[in-house]
Amino acid sequence: MISGVRNITRIPELKRRILISLLLLAVYRVGVFVPTPGIDAQALAAWFAQAKGTLLGLFDMFAGGALQRLSVFALGIMPYISASIILQLLTVVIPYLEKLSKEGEAGRKKITQYTRYGTVLLSIIQGFGISIGIERMTGPAGELVVANPGWGFRLMTVLTLTAGTAFIMWLGEQITERGIGNGISLIIFAGIVARLPSASANTFRMMRTGEMGILFVLVLIAFMMLVVGFIVFMERGQRRVPVQYAKRIVGRRMYGGQSTHLPLRVNTSGVIPPIFASSIIMFPATIAQFVGVPWMKTLVNYLMPGQLLYTVLYVGFIFFFCYFYTAVTFNPVDVADNMKKYGGYIPGIRPGKRTAEFIDRVLTRITFGGAMYISAVCVMPTFMIREFNVPFFFGGTALLIVVGVALDTMSQIESHMLTRHYEGFLKTGRIRGRR
């Protein structure tokens, strides 16, 4: 492990990519502490202390703590994720977008451009809703969070929050292109990891004050390690479909004849389903949190973590996006055609349509298991927070994202090192990517 880390410094390109990623993530963390003009920070912090454990707390987790400070990055990257969801759903419905998705690099750039426009539009809508809601907030002593409410403050807030989201989106794209990759995931990862020290300190404070016993804390640490091990095991799990390539003669040489396998991952979609599911549930509920309509307040109460409606919708969306994202990123028909083109076949299965049907059937079954695993890990902290008042990082979406993104990042660093004939992090085995 230590020799693998030392080898990173011997590859100039990899070293440069890692430094660029760290620098851009540092810029993001600095922006989290830059406040939006016109806000009483103390009154806002007191109001958020009262709203702790609600949907706003979950939204603040994805924003890396920027929402409770109402910084320029308060909206976080969620508008971009929501816009990506909408574009991917419309790709299935609108023929023009479906055609663009099949046009290779040019089509991908066009869809990315539409996603950016959608991100700006959603940021304007959410920023306007937040500006109106914050004007109505008061601290515990009745002090106003916004000293000078009005259209001047609203326009300034919308402009600031929209510009902040656009800048985060640009940072993510730069990390993907010039850094180590997975820019959007790394930004969410950085926001979650940045809160671990304070959450750990809070746990030890509760232990000193007697709210949590030492034995209970040790059991929680052991449980967290088991959950991490379970996540790593499931993320690396795959179904290996045997593939046989027939012998063929090209010129004077004979090619093929070897046996290999087609790896189908248990969790093909990665951390995308819980992020998408959270963003869909949080978008209407967050807007409703700032609106004084009675029936919308009732809706917010039903969509609180721990409520039956929230759990059912959350699990349902996770299952939907597991299958949807798998269908978008993995096409069994294309895989079967490529196998047939190069003389490959699955023993006992006819090439072509039958092979595609077999792969689709296997993928459907293992995706169901992957969706159950993600749902169990993501719903777990709701019970633990409600029953034992356990900090969020002991399970759930946060831990799934942290472990998943860490595995992806290590896999990309590993591939850079192995292509240049350096040993990776592990001398026995390799870190396999999840997608």
Rounded CA gap, 117 and 86, in Å? 12
The predicted structure's pLDDT at residue 371: 92
Q: Quick check: is 93 in a domain? A: yes
Domain tally for the chain?
2
**169: nearest Cα among 191, 184, 156:** 184
Same domain, 44 and 187: yes
Same domain, 368 and 276: yes
Same domain, 166 and 216: no
The predicted structure's pLDDT at residue 105: 78
Same domain, 272 and 305: yes
Same domain, 271 and 383: yes
Q: Quick check: is 268 in a domain? A: yes
The predicted structure's pLDDT at residue 159: 92
The predicted structure's pLDDT at residue 194: 81
Q: Quick check: is 82 in a domain? A: yes
Q: Quick check: is 418 in a domain? A: no
**172: nearest Cα among 162, 182, 161, 160:** 182
Rounded CA gap, 401 and 186, in Å? 9
Q: Which of 141, 167, 194 is the last residue of a domain?
A: 194
Same domain, 146 and 291: no
Q: Splitting the chain (435 residues) into consecutive groups of 10 residues, what average pLDDT does each group show?
A: 64 85 90 82 71 58 70 85 82 82 81 90 88 74 74 88 91 88 84 79 78 78 84 87 75 67 86 79 64 68 75 90 86 86 83 89 92 87 65 65 83 76 55 49
Helix pair angle (308-329, 353-388), 10° resolution: 150
**326: nearest Cα among 412, 237, 265, 377:** 265
Q: Quick check: is 434 in a domain? A: no
Amino acid at site 55: L
Same domain, 32 and 79: yes
Which CATH number does the domain housing residue 255 bear? 1.10.3370.10
Amino acid at site 126: Q
The predicted structure's pLDDT at residue 41: 74
**375: nearest Cα among 391, 397, 393, 390:** 397
- pTM given for the model: 0.75
**192: nearest Cα among 416, 400, 419:** 400
Q: Can you tell me which residue has the tokens 């090619």?
A: 255
Amino acid at site 26: A
- Containing structural domain, residue 146: 1-194
Same domain, 94 and 240: no
The predicted structure's pLDDT at residue 435: 43
Q: Quick check: is 259 in a domain? A: yes
Same domain, 235 and 174: no
Same domain, 314 and 378: yes
DSSP character string of 267-326: TTTTTHHHHHHHHHHHHHHHHHHT---HHHHHHHHHTSTTSHHHHHHHHHHHHHHHHHHH
Same domain, 173 and 306: no
Same domain, 283 and 363: yes
Amino acid at site 54: T
Q: Quick check: is 201 in a domain? A: no
Q: Quick check: is 293 in a domain? A: yes
The predicted structure's pLDDT at residue 434: 46
